Amino acid sequence: MEENLEKKIELLKQWMEQSGSIVFFGGAGVSTESGIPDFRSVDGLYNQTYKYPPETIISHSFYVRNPQEFYRFYKDRMLFPDAKPNRAHLALAKLEQEGKLTAVITQNIDGLHQAAGSKEVLELHGSVHRNYCTRCGQFYDLDYVLKSEGVPRCSCGGTIKPDVVLYEEGLDNRILQKSVNAIRNADMLIVGGTSLVVYPAAGLIDYYQGKRLVLINKDKTARDSMADLVINGKIGEVLGAAVGV
Ligand code: NAD
């Protein structure tokens, strides 16, 4: 590990030790080390060729107009039932267990924070693990969606929709408010694996009032200049080393 990176991880560790209400806010980059592609890296979904760009396919209007094509893409590119939590997920779960971390706020829909043992997970964009009949409200798990052919149907004949926030859809206000409160009360905010371009989620970090804003990302982000510590590295390696998992 390069010397500069080691020093930064050491500082991150010290800050963690001195903090008692850490909040983590993350995105797709948290799960790339688990084999789930993000959207904006060079090997991410936006740089692969499909008939339509991902933000078109996973939009509300596209889902309504063309559910077959939506589900073809969704099942093929957004469901990773065999993915396992990586060191980033495990480190955050450990910090919560130790009473140091109050919440994980995530833009991810993969459920890997819960799989790692985290309890207070605020899922801004929903979860692939929850699916509902749009006619009668009946709940279905991920397995049902995976095993269905084409568009999954309810026993009542209605269409099943994932409880995932599509483009053009609004965020759940209750979860947004809980996230704002958690960030306002945090004594340390760690932001990682997110390009910070998807709003309103990206705007959440503006609610942080403390002096320990840490950004961990492979690449530069638009908010690097406002951070107290910027660590360019793989988040699983960085958090794994800082927390010791
Ligand atoms: P994004 O794809 O826009 O950005 C990911 C960022 O993470 C990039 O800046 C990239 O450089 C960085 N990154 C990738 N791997 C990393 C690693 N190992 N360590 C550190 N940094 C790493 O993702 P976003 O900001 O979360 O926004 C995209 C939207 O896509 C979100 O709304 C999310 O709901 C959705 N999404 C979710 C998943 C998932 O659930 N795992 C996967 C893809 C997209």
Comparing CA positions, the residue from 236, 202, 235 lying closest to residue 217 is: 235
The CA distance from 187 to 101, in Å, is 10
Confidence grade of residue 53 (pLDDT, cut at 50, 70, 90)? confident
Sheet harboring 160-164: ordered strands across? 139-140, 126-133, 160-164
Residue 31 beta carbon below 6 angstroms from any ligand 1 atom? yes
Active site residues: 125
Q: Are 112 and 121 in contact (CB under 8 A)?
A: no
Sign of the alpha-carbon torsion through 57, 84, 4, 101:
positive
CB distance 171 to 107 below 8 Å: no
How confident is the model over 129-142, as a mean pLDDT? 98
Per the prediction, the chain carries an average pLDDT of 94
Cβ(44) to ligand 1 under 6 A?
A: yes
26 C-alpha to ligand 1 centroid (Å):
8
Smallest CA separation from ligand 1 atom 9, residue: 195
- Determine if residue 48 is labeled as part of a ligand binding site: no
Helix or strand (DSSP H, E) at 11: helix 3-18
Q: What are the tens digits of pLDDT across the range 169-225?
A: 999 999 999 999 999 999 999 999 999 988 888 899 999 999 999 999 999 998 999
Res 47 pLDDT > 70: no
Q: How far apart are CA 27 and CA 39, in angstroms?
A: 10
From the list 170, 225, 176, the residue with the least C-alpha distance to 203 is 176
CA atoms of 135 and 138, how far apart (whole Å)? 8
Q: Is there an atom of ligand 1 within 6 Å of 123 CB? A: no
Atom 32 of ligand 1, nearest CA residue? 107
Residue in the structure block whose two tokens are 């371009």: 197
Q: Is the CB of 54 under 6 A from ligand 1?
A: no
Distance 137 CA to ligand 1 centre (A): 30
| Ligand 1 closest atom vs CA 40 | 2
Q: Is the CB of 195 under 6 A from ligand 1?
A: yes
Q: State the pLDDT at residue 41.
A: 67
User: How far is 90 from 233, CA to CA, in rounded Å?
Assistant: 17
pLDDT of 141 reads: 98
What is the model's pLDDT at position 52? 85
**Residue 44 — pLDDT band, cuts 50, 70, 90?**
low
pLDDT (tens digit, 9 = 90+) per residue, 147-170? 999 999 999 999 999 999 999 999
CA 107 to centroid of ligand 1, rounded, Å: 8
Q: Please report the atom of ligand 1 found closest to the CA of residue 201.
A: 32
CA angle 234, 82, 80 (to 5 degrees): 75
16 alpha carbon to ligand 1 midpoint, in Å?
Answer: 24
